[in-house]
C-alpha cells in the first residue's frame, strides 16, 4: 500500500508524520518507499515527490496563518524551519495540523501516481541529463553588438571562463498544458533560430544537432482518431491521399493547424484565398480524417463533468468551460509535451552518454552536442517509439 510522509519541517515538530488513506503515525525517519511532502517540488527522477503530485492534481494545502509566518520572518534570517508546534497557539497549531493531514489523507488515493511514474519521471530524467552548453564568445558578441532587440536573451548565453554557459533551469508548472518555460540560465526557448550558431561542440570535429518531432501535435490528434502516419512529411501524404495531389501541401498544413487552434473558417478562407464553398468541402474532408469534432465533444464532456480535461497519459488540464476553442489544442499540446519527453528519454537511453551531451530541450526538439565518432549514430535516429502509440514518431535531424 502506498503511504505518504509529511516532513517534520512543515510541522515544526521533531518527528515526521507517516500515513495512508486509513490513518497516520509519527516517525523518526522518512521511509524510503513513502511519498515525501517537504513544501518544495523535487526534480530528481528518483524522488517520490508528494509536492509534485499535489500540484499536478491542483490541490492546495492548508498553510500557517500569514500573520505568524510574517512574524517569524521578522525574527529570523536564513532557511531555518519554523518550530510551529511550539510557536503557534495550541488551538491554531491543532487546526493547521488537522487540516494538513486531513487534506492529504482524503486526496492521497486518487493522486496521479501512474502519470508521475511514467511520463513525469521520464521528463525528469531528460532534464536531469542536460549539460551546460559551450558558447562562442566572439560570435555572441557580434550578435549583441549588432543589436536587433534580442540582446537580453543573448546576454543570458554569455559563457563563463570555462567556455560553458550557465545551466538552463526549466519550469514544468507555469503553463496550463505543461509546456516548458525557462526560469534561470540561457533561454533557448526565446533565442532566435538564426542565433543558435553561437553554440559550439565540446569536441573537436563535433557538431550541435537538434532532433525535432515532425508535426507532433497534429499526429497526436490523428492518433485519437485511430489513425497514424509514419511519413516524414505528413501534410504532403495527406494532400496526396485525401486530395490526389490537387491541393497544395501547405494548404493542408494550414487547414490542420486551423482545426487544432480553433481558427474560424472565414480566417482560413482568407489565408487560403479560396471561396466559401471550396473551403467548406476542404475542411470537412480534413475534419473527417482527424475526427476533430468527436475529440472536441469528448473533451467538452470532461470539462462539463469535472472542470478539467485529461491528456493521453493522465495529466489534468484546466480549460474554462466557455472556451471550446481551447479544448483540442490544450489536449494536443499537453499530450505532445509528454510524447516529446518520453521520446527524448528513449533517444538518450538509446544513444547512451559516451560522446553525447544533451544541452537543451526546445519544446518538440532536443539539442545535442555530439562527438565526431557518434554523428552517424544520431543521424540514424529517424523515429522514436513512445509508449501508448502503435507506430514510431518521425524525427527530423538538423545540424545547427
State pLDDT tens for residues 265-308.
777 777 776 666 677 778 888 888 999 989 999 999 999 888 89
pLDDT band of residue 338 (cuts 50, 70, 90) is very high
Look at residue 65 and tell me whether its pLDDT is greater than 90: no
Look at residue 146 and tell me whether its pLDDT is greater than 80: yes
State whether residue 65 is helix, strand or coil: coil
Half-sphere exposure (CA, 13 Å, Cβ side) for 222?
21
Q: Could you tell me the domains of the chain?
A: 4-111 (no CATH), 133-215+335-399 (3.30.70.370), 217-312 (no CATH)
Burial 179-194 (b: 16+ CB within 10 A, else e): bbebeebbbbbebeee
Residue 330 burial class via C-beta count within 10 angstroms: exposed 0-12, middle 13-18, buried 19 and up: buried
Mean pLDDT of 247-256: 86
State whether residue 216 is helix, strand or coil: helix
Mean pLDDT of 153-161: 94
- pLDDT confidence of residue 77: 64
Tell me how long the chain is. 400
pLDDT band of residue 12 (cuts 50, 70, 90) is confident
User: How many degrees, rounded to 5, is the angle at CA 160 between CA 159 and CA 165?
Assistant: 45
Is the separation of the CB atoms in 135 and 158 below 8 Å? Answer: yes
Is the separation of the CB atoms in 262 and 294 below 8 Å? Answer: no
Which span out of 22-31, 82-91, 117-126, 322-331 was modeled with the highest average pLDDT?
117-126
pLDDT band of residue 256 (cuts 50, 70, 90) is confident
Amino acid at each position: 500500500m502506498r503511504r505518504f510522509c509529511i516532513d517534520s519541517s512543515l510541522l515544526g515538530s521533531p518527528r515526521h508524520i507517516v500515513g495512508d488513506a486509513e490513518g497516520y503515525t509519527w516517525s523518526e525517519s522518512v521511509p524510503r518507499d513513502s511519498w515525501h511532502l517537504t513544501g518544495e517540488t523535487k526534480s530528481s527522477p528518483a524522488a517520490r515527490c508528494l509536492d509534485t503530485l499535489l500540484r499536478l492534481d491542483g490541490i492546495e494545502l492548508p498553510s500557517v496563518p500569514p500573520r505568524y509566518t510574517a512574524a517569524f520572518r521578522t525574527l529570523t534570517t536564513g532557511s531555518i524551519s519554523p518550530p510551529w508546534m511550539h510557536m503557534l497557539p495550541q488551538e491554531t497549531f491543532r487546526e493547521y495540523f488537522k487540516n494538513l493531514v486531513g487534506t492529504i489523507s482524503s486526496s492521497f488515493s486518487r493522486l496521479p501516481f501512474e502519470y508521475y511514474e511514467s511520463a513525469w519521471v521520464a521528463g525528469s530524467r531528460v532534464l536531469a541529463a542536460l549539460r551546460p552548453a559551450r558558447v562562442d564568445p566572439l560570435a555572441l558578441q557580434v550578435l549583441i553588438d549588432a543589436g536587433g532587440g534580442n540582446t537580453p536573451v543573448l546576454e543570458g548565453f554569455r559563457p563563463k571562463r570555462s567556455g560553458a554557459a550557465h545551466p538552463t533551469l526549466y519550469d514544468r508548472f507555469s503553463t496550463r498544458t505543461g509546456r516548458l518555460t525557462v526560469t534561470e540560465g540561457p533561454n533557448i526557448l526565446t533565442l532566435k533560430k538564426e542565433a543558435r550558431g553561437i553554440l559550439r561542440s565540446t569536441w573537436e570535429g563535433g557538431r550541435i544537432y537538434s532532433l525535432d518531432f515532425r508535426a507532433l501535435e497534429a499526429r497526436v490528434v490523428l492518433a485519437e482518431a485511430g489513425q497514424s502516419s509514419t511519413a516524414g512529411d505528413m501534410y504532403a501524404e495527406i494532400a496526396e491521399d485525401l486530395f490526389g495531389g490537387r491541393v497544395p501541401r501547405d494548404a493542408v498544413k494550414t487547414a490542420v493547424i486551423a482545426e487544432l487552434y480553433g481558427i474560424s473558417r472565414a480566417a482560413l478562407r482568407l489565408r487560403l484565398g479560396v471561396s466559401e464553398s471550396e473551403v467548406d468541402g476542404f475542411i470537412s474532408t480534413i475534419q473527417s480524417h482527424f475526427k476533430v469534432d468527436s475529440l472536441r465533444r469528448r473533451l467538452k464532456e470532461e470539462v462539463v463533468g469535472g472542470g478539467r480535461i485529461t491528456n493521453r497519459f493522465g495529466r489534468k488540464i484546466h480549460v474554462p468551460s466557455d472556451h471550446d476553442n481551447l479544448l483540442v489544442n490544450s489536449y494536443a499540446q499537453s499530450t505532445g509535451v509528454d510524447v516529446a519527453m518520453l521520446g527524448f528519454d528513449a533517444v538518450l537511453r538509446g544513444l547512451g552518454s559516451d560522446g553525447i551531451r544533451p544541452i537543451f530541450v526546445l519544446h518538440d526538439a532536443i539539442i545535442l552536442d555530439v562527438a565526431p565518432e557518434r554523428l552517424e549514430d544520431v543521424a540514424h535516429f529517424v523515429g522514436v517509439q513512445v509508449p501508448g502509440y502503435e507506430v514510431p514518431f518521425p524525427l527530423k535531424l538538423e545540424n545547427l
